Structure 1
Amino acid sequence: MTFLGKVIHVSVDLVLVSTCLAGIKRNTGLAFKLETIENQTARDYSRRYLKMGESVYDYSVASCGSSSYFERK
């Protein structure tokens, strides 16, 4: 596998993990505690990373909600 292929693979995996964390936050109310990160820069990037997962989660829910293949129960 080429270097670019590995970068894409890891990027997709990171997006999936962030989306999973967003789903856990929305369904259970449990959220990652960002205050435990001492470095301000790392805390800011972590916040951006988690917000990206929430955006992907929102888009996925909206897409499934407007699809004829899914129904609300």
Structure 2
Amino acid sequence: MTFIGKLVHFSFDFVLISTCLAGIKRNTGLTPKLDSIQDPHIQGYCLKYLNFGESCYDYTVATCGASSYFVRK
């Protein structure tokens, strides 16, 4: 049971990090430099990881925008 718990915990942490990087990209324009990665397979996985974070960020912003608990200023 502890292996499953740790797997869920690390998965959630990775999603949070990816979403945070997407927020940094949207607000400042800064992105991780993927050109320095030599292996094209790993570079592709990193790009998919960052795109997943942007999808999570978009979903979170849309959900908060539709909520009555948040207001745009």
Bin the TM-score by the shorter chain. Answer: over 0.9
SS at match of 1:69: coil
Q: Give 2:67's aligned residue.
A: 67
Q: Which runs of 5+ in 2 are unaligned?
A: none
TM-score by structure 2 length? 0.97
Query: Aligned-pair distance for 1:43?
Result: 0.1
Matched, 1:47 2:47: yes
- Aligned equivalent of 1:35: 35
Partner of 1:25: 25
Deviation at 1:20, TM superposition (A): 0.2
Give the superposed CA RMSD.
0.8
Give the 4+ runs in structure 1 shifted more than 3 A: none
| Aligned counterparts of 2:36 and 2:54: Cα–Cα separation in 1 | 21
2:71 aligned counterpart, secondary structure: coil
Q: Provide the identity percentage.
A: 62
Q: Matched residues in 1 for 2:7 and 2:70: separation?
A: 33
1:33 CA displacement: 1.0
**Structure 2 residue identity aligned to 1:37:** I
Q: TM-score with structure 1 length normalisation? A: 0.97
Q: Which runs of 5+ in 1 are unaligned?
A: none
Partner Cα distance (1:6, 1:69) in 2: 32
- CA deviations 1:18-61 (Å, max 9, x no partner) are 00000000000001111111000100000000000000000000
